[in-house]
Amino acid sequence: MERYVMKGGTPLRGEVVIGGAKNAALGLLAAAVMTDEKVKIDNLPDVRDINVLLSAIEGIGATVNRIDAHTVEICGKGIHGLSVDYEYIKKIRASYYLLGALLGKYKKAEVALPGGCDIGSRPIDLHLKGFRALGANVEISHGLISAKADRLVGNHIYMDKVSVGATINVLMAATLAEGKTVIENAAKEPHVVDVANFLNSMGANIRGAGTDVIRIVGVEKLHGTEYSVIPDQIEAGTFMFAAAATHGDVTVRNVIPKHLEATTAKLLEAGCQVIEFDDAVRVIAAEPLKPTQVTTLPYPGFPTDMQPQMAIVLALAEGTSTITESIFENRFRYVDELARMGANIKVESNIAIINGIEKYTGARVSAPDLRAGAALVIAGLAADGVTEVDDIQYIQRGYERFEEKLRGLGATIERVANDHDAQKFKLKVS
């Protein structure tokens, strides 16, 4: 199995260019099949989750033409199957966006029920509540969710909890429903706004995305479009925290600084300098790092997807910090791995109490999930000696050419396929 092997201790310096937002692209790709006309999407990240969703889209009969690594043309005209296999859904939960997209377009869809995930229980009750409110009959049996409607009719839908997935899924179905839908307590994440903008560019009538009330007036059909995915705020934040943890100085390019405000605020509290440009941010690390308190919250709060990377920085701060995880209950699984590198973190329920240490020491660790995996790589780059991170297939789900981009900032890191190559790396750097 592939792994990353790295020698830490070099401050990251220089510039890195951020790709398109994976989580926005997942919504856009599903929405693209809602028209029979061609849709061209660029600034697509070339990562595993995107490639799996593209296969699922091909699997239902749409035409997928990959023009280059970051551009795709999709045509939903040839769709014959309205059923999305477990084969895809077990690899990425976001293939359930095809439920909202197909239900809106064909008034009928069937998607395998997503299985459990490694960051906590991930119910889909709000997605189903939304579809039912639009008039769909939704049933779960034999591991499948089936949604069917004679007509979809707009309605007033209150989301009991802020959910990115439910907001996007219901938004898609409501776009092709009759009449007006109001989604209250909607998620305000930039990727929700991106999906709404994309659908509007296809002829939808959606207002209020980015606020907690989204109003949709259903249209009869959608048309083709060309669209560019927004920059990935989580990839950007990951590099910002990597700069802080390694005592570096990194300019992160092709970003929307407004989407990074929560990350920037916490880096400033940790004592770092953050300079904002029109489409870039520069992070100059603090010496020493200061402790602070963080609570994960829906946007514009501090993102749960950035929580492990923040912990890597705070575990090196001078004093005691806390991180409260309020979105997913099982998102501290990296703590035991980080302890192997010397970190002093105690988890009580959904709060991590972090007592700063001076330095990590390199060790062999495993990525428990996508973001925690990226966080462990950052720890390895800040550590004394060599670190090996296993299970990097999680990291590859969401970071394109991760090790290459880090090398561009001066990191000594390689992706290796086996013990022999890991050994070669160690001899080279020792």
Q: Which residues of this chain interact with ligand UD1, rule CB under 6 A?
A: 23, 26, 94, 122-127, 161, 163-166, 187, 191, 303-305, 327-328
Give the dihedral sign, CA 115/92/58/35.
positive
Q: Quick one: which H or E segment has residue 252?
A: strand 249-253
Q: How far is the CB of 253 from ligand UD1 (least distance, A)?
A: 23
Strand partners, 117: 120
Strand partners, 112: 144
Please identify, using beta-carbon distances, which residue of 52 and 317 lies nearer to ligand UD1: 52
Annotated catalytic residues are 117
- Which residue lies nearest ligand UD1, judged by its C-beta? 165
Please identify, using beta-carbon distances, which residue of 304 and 387 lies nearer to ligand UD1: 304
DSSP string covering 203-248: T-EEE-BTBSEEEEE--S----EEEEPPB-HHHHHHHHHHHHHTT-
> What's the CA gap between 1 and 417, in Å, rounded?
6
Alpha carbon of 389 to those of 378, 392, 395, 412, 413: distances in Å?
10, 7, 10, 14, 11
Please identify, using beta-carbon distances, which residue of 110 and 235 lies nearer to ligand UD1: 235
The residue whose two tokens read 């709000």 is 126
Q: How far is the CB of 126 from ligand UD1 (least distance, A)?
A: 3
Q: How far is the CB of 327 from ligand UD1 (least distance, A)?
A: 5
Please, are residues 149 and 158 in contact by the beta-carbon 8 Å criterion? no
Q: How far is the CB of 159 from ligand UD1 (least distance, A)?
A: 8
Please identify, using beta-carbon distances, which residue of 120 and 410 lies nearer to ligand UD1: 120
> Could you say which DSSP state residue 385 is in?
S
Structure tokens at 241: 């925290």
24 in helix, strand or coil?
Answer: helix
Q: How far is the CB of 170 from ligand UD1 (least distance, A)?
A: 10
Please, are residues 10 and 410 in contact by the beta-carbon 8 Å criterion? yes
- Angle at 185 (CA atoms; ends 162, 144), nearest 5 degrees: 55
Q: How far is the CB of 321 from ligand UD1 (least distance, A)?
A: 21
Nearest to 302 by CA among 246, 343, 241, 253: 241
Q: How far is the CB of 335 from ligand UD1 (least distance, A)?
A: 18
> What's the CA gap between 282 and 259, in Å, rounded?
15
